[in-house]
Amino acid sequence: MECDRCGGDAVMHAAYSGAHLCERHFRESVEKRVRRRIRRDDLVPGDASPEDPETWVIGLSGGKDSVVLTQILHDTFAEDPRIELVGLTIHEGIEGYRDESVAACLELADDLGIRHELASYEEEFGIRMDDVVEDDPENMAACAYCGVFRRDLLSRYAAELEADLLLTGHNLDDEAQTALMNFLEGDLGQIAKHFDASLGPLSERNEQDEFVPRAKPLRDVPEKEVALYAHLADLPAHITECPHASEAYRGEIQQLLYDLEENHPGTRHSILSGYEELAAMVADQYGDDGDESRELRECAECGATTTREICRKCSLLESLEAV
């Protein structure tokens, strides 16, 4: 196969676009999609200046997605004094898994010369995911606990670091899966929340001042292309899967999307673009209605911003202490 652009040896074929690309043109096309998404989501404010630079905190897990995102953001903004990047890694306490990915994060941050922060469930909450899985007081999947604790730490550290933006490495497959899951669950409130929390141009979201805005600039790039980019760029990504990975429903949706994409290339792109348009309308409607269930208050235990009297993280920690 030859590259459509230069006739060199193609390293990939994208069925959804028909493109065959060599290593150089493939890497350029990934970088271009990330930069286009940054522009479309208005992530760099017009008044950003070298005197008062924006702090962008990247959730850096050491997996291929966050490593590729960090590398491309660094290549894009290394010479731009308006943007400062900080890598933030969360250690969940998973034996034989997280230590290696933390090492990948440290190596990357060191290579790129960016600031890096490490937070752990053990230091912050006195728990390790390995023990949470053993105890399981709520009879839930590991990821249901882990996601709550991770979101809490990412938000808290982003606020402490005075971040203007919290960026995560969700790719096209992740976002198309979440879109389909939210749609199939029929929960419009969740769809509105998803849009306001992390999708679309910053100026069009009904964001709450209490939260650092989120962004997912890798969401136009399919998972396999992110993996290929990490491999070709020889990035220190950690690729072992977490031993507690347990989102069974997401696994079913993932398989469904693989099959659809195989038979109808472009399905993930059309799901996500249609979903974003729909989610923007739903978010607008919910924002205008001032839905009381989304009203924010301070958690009575930890003071975090929540819609409940005691936030989900504190109630999970209470259940774990009671075991």
Q: How far is the CB of 256 from ligand SF4 (least distance, A)?
A: 20
Report CA 7 to chain centroid distance, whole Å: 35
Q: 147 and 242 in contact (C-beta within 8 Å)?
A: no
CA–CA separation, 109 vs 116, rounded Å?
6
Q: Which of residues 59 and 87 has its CB atom nearest to ligand SF4 in the complex?
A: 59
Q: How far is the CB of 70 from ligand SF4 (least distance, A)?
A: 18
Q: Which of residues 38 and 132 has its CB atom nearest to ligand SF4 in the complex?
A: 132
Burial letters 82-108, b for 16+ CB under 10 A, else e? ebbbbbbbbbbbbeebbeebbebbbeb
Q: How far is the CB of 94 from ligand SF4 (least distance, A)?
A: 6
CA–CA separation, 174 vs 223, rounded Å?
8
Nearest to 198, CA basis, from 222, 228, 173, 167? 167
Q: Which of residues 235 and 245 has its CB atom nearest to ligand SF4 in the complex?
A: 245
Q: How far is the CB of 151 from ligand SF4 (least distance, A)?
A: 10
Residues 6+ apart with CB under 8 A from 271: 176, 179, 180, 257
CA–CA separation, 221 vs 305, rounded Å?
32
Q: How far is the CB of 23 from ligand SF4 (least distance, A)?
A: 30
Point out which residues bind ligand SF4 (CB under 6 A): 92, 129, 142-143, 146-147, 242, 244-245
Coil/strand/helix, residue 303? coil
Amino acid 298 reads E
Q: Which of residues 24 and 250 has its CB atom nearest to ligand SF4 in the complex?
A: 250
Contacts 24+ apart (CB under 8 A), 313-319: 313/125, 313/148, 313/149, 313/152, 316/138, 316/145, 316/148, 316/149, 317/125, 317/127, 319/137, 319/138
Q: Which of residues 82 and 244 has its CB atom nearest to ligand SF4 in the complex?
A: 244
| DSSP for 11-52, written as a single string | -EEETTTTEEE-HHHHHHHHHHHHHHHHHHTT-S-TT--SSS
Q: How many CB atoms lie within 10 A of CB 180?
A: 21
Q: How far is the CB of 186 from ligand SF4 (least distance, A)?
A: 24
Q: How far is the CB of 135 from ligand SF4 (least distance, A)?
A: 14
Q: How far is the CB of 104 from ligand SF4 (least distance, A)?
A: 14
Q: Which of residues 156 and 244 has its CB atom nearest to ligand SF4 in the complex?
A: 244
Q: 241 and 143 in contact (C-beta within 8 Å)?
A: no
Q: Which of residues 97 and 195 has its CB atom nearest to ligand SF4 in the complex?
A: 97
Q: Which of residues 174 and 196 has its CB atom nearest to ligand SF4 in the complex?
A: 174
Q: Which residues pair with 91 in a beta bridge?
A: 120
